Amino acid sequence: MNEIVIKSPTTLKELVQILAVADNNTYMLSGGTDFIIKMRREKINNGTIINLKDLKELNYITNTEDYVKIGGITTLTEISCSSIVDKYATALKEATGKVGSTQIRNAATLAGNIANSAPCADTVTALMALSAKVKIINGSGEIYEKKVDDIVLGSEKNSLKRDEVIIEVNIPIDLEARSSFGKIGSRTAVTISKLNMAVTFKYNHEMVINEAMVVIGAIGPKAFNSSTVANSLLNKKINTQFIYLFEETLQKQVDEAILGRASHPYKREAIRGLADDIMKRMFPQIMTGGELS
C-alpha cells in the first residue's frame, strides 16, 4: 500500500536532516492552500510531505538598513498588516492583501506562493517589481540567495531542487523608490487575477522618473519584467500626460505578448485600468483617474 509520511521539523537543523534524504516524492507543505488541493486532485498518495509550519523561527518580518526580511512561514495576512512592509515594500502589502480570501491569507505563506509559481500569483508580480530575493536552505545545510525571478519558472513550475526550501524573502530597501500593485479579476475580492501589475518608480523632486520597473502578471506562463514599458517612462515627468503614455506602452506590450490569443482584446483594454489604479494610488494629487480621458 502506498504511504504518505509527514515530517514536521521544528528547527532548521531538523529541516536540513530531512532535506538531506529528500527524493522525487518529497513535497513541501507550507500554508497548504494550494498544495492540498493539488494533492487531492492529482491523487498524490505516496512520499514524504515536509510540513514547514512548525518552523516557528521562520515566522517574522524585520528590517535592516538594507532589507526587509520575511520569514518563510509568515502568512499573507501578517505581511499585509505589517507596517514595515507597508513602508518599504508597498506593492507587496497591496498584493498580499488581495490574494484569495481572509481565510486563505490567514493560512497561505509568501514562500509557498513563490514556490507554487502560478502564472497569476499576485505576490510574485509584486516581489519581482521589488527586486526581491529569496534565501534558500538545502539538504547540505547550505544557505544562499536567488532572485525570485529565477525561482519562478511559471506554469506552476519552480527551479527549486528537491532538497531546497525557501526560508526567507529579502526585499531591498530603497528609500527613494515607491512601489504599488494592482490586479483585475472577475470580482472585487476573492478572485484569481486575469491581469496584475506591480511597478517601482524612482523620481526626482521635479517628478521626473529616473528609474522604473514594471512587472506584468497573468499574460504569460509567469510574470515578466517589461523593460520596454519601463524604458519608455524614463526621464518623463509624472503628470497628467504621463498616464496616457504609460497606458499606451502597456497596451503595446500586451499586444506584443499575447496578440492572437482569445484573451488579447480584453487584456489590452483592461491593462489601462491597472495603470490608472496604480497611478491614482501612488499620485492621488496628480492623477484624477479616468476623468481626464
Partner 1 sequence: MTELKYVGKYIPIHDAYEKVKGKLQYVADMEMDGMLHAKLLLSPIAHGVIKSIDVTKAEALPGVVKVYTYKNTPQNLYNSQKWHVGLEVVKDERLFTDKVRFVGDRVAAVVAKDKSIAEKAIELIEVQYQELPIVLDPEEALMEETIKIHDHGNVIMEKEISVGNVNEAMENAPIVVEDFVDTQKVHHAAMEPHICMTAIDSTNGLLTIWTPCQVVFQVRLIVAEALGLSLNRIRAIKTTVGGSFGGKGQPILEPVCAYFTYDLGVPVKLQLDRAETISSTRTRNATIGRVKTAVDKEGNILARDIDVLVDAGAYFTNGEAVTIAMGKKAFRLYDIKNQTYKGTAVYTNTPIAGACRGYGSPQIHALTEINIDNTAKKLGLDPVEFRLKNLVKPYAKDPTGGPELGNARVIDCLLKGMEVFDWKSKYNRPKATGRFVKGVGMACATHGSGYYNAYPDFITMDLRVTEDGEAILKASLHDLGCGTIVTIKQIVAEVLDINPDKILVPEADTLVSPFDSAGTQASRVTFVCGAAAKKTAELVKEKFTKHSADILKCNIDDILYKDGFILNKNNPQAMVSYGDMVMLIQTSLKEDISVSYTYKSPANPAVYGVNFAEVEIDTYTGLVRVIDIVAVHDIGKAINPVFVEGQVQGAIQMGIGFALTEEIVIDNKGNVKSNNFSKYHVINAPDMPDVKVHLIEAGEEFGPFGAKSVGEVSTVPIAPAIINGINHALDINITSLPATPEKILAALNNKKNLIGG
Partner 2 sequence: MEMEFNVNGIKHILEVDPMERLLDVLRNKLKLTGAKEGCGEGECGACTIILDGVAINSCIVLAAQAAGREILTIESLEKDGELDRLQKAFINNGAVQCGYCTPGMLMSCKALLMKNPAPTEEEIKTAIEGNLCRCTGYTKIIKAVKEAVKDI
Binding-site ranges for partner 2 (CB under 8 A): 4-6, 8, 29, 32-33, 36-37, 39-40, 45, 49, 51, 53, 75, 77, 100-104, 106-107, 189-190
- The residue type of 12 is L
CA triple 230-96-171, angle to 5 deg:
60
Buried-state track 219-237, b at ≥16 Cβ within 10 A, e below 16: beebbbbbeebbebbeebe
- Minimum Å gap between C-beta 75 and partner 2 is 8
53 makes contact, choosing from partner 1, partner 2, none, with CB < 5 to 8 Å by partner type, with partner 2
- Minimum Å gap between C-beta 5 and partner 2 is 6
Establish if 269 lies at the interface with partner 1 (CB under 8 A).
Answer: yes
- Minimum Å gap between C-beta 192 and partner 1 is 6
- Helices 264-282 and 240-258, packing angle to 10 deg: 150
Give the range of 5-13, 71-79, 162-170, 262-270 binding partner 1 by CB under 8 A: 262-270
- Minimum Å gap between C-beta 189 and partner 1 is 4
Whether 97 contacts 80, CB under 8 Å: yes
6 makes contact, choosing from partner 1, partner 2, none, with CB < 5 to 8 Å by partner type, with partner 2
- Minimum Å gap between C-beta 280 and partner 1 is 10
Which residue from 77, 276, 278, 283 is in contact with partner 1, where contact means CB under 8 A?
Answer: 276
Q: How many residues bind partner 1 (CB under 8 A)?
A: 22
Distance of CA 158 to the CA centre of its chain: 13
Among candidates 35, 190, 50, which has minimal Cα distance to 116? 35
Q: Which is nearer to partner 2, 54 or 248 (CB)?
A: 54
**CA distance to 152, 182, 267, 274, per residue, from 120 (Å):** 12, 12, 13, 15
Q: Which is nearer to partner 2, 143 or 189 (CB)?
A: 189
Whether 29 contacts 115, CB under 8 Å: no
Establish if 184 lies at the interface with partner 1 (CB under 8 A).
Answer: yes
Listed in sequence order, the residues at least 6 apart from 269 whose beta carbon sits closer than 8 Å to its beta carbon are: 251
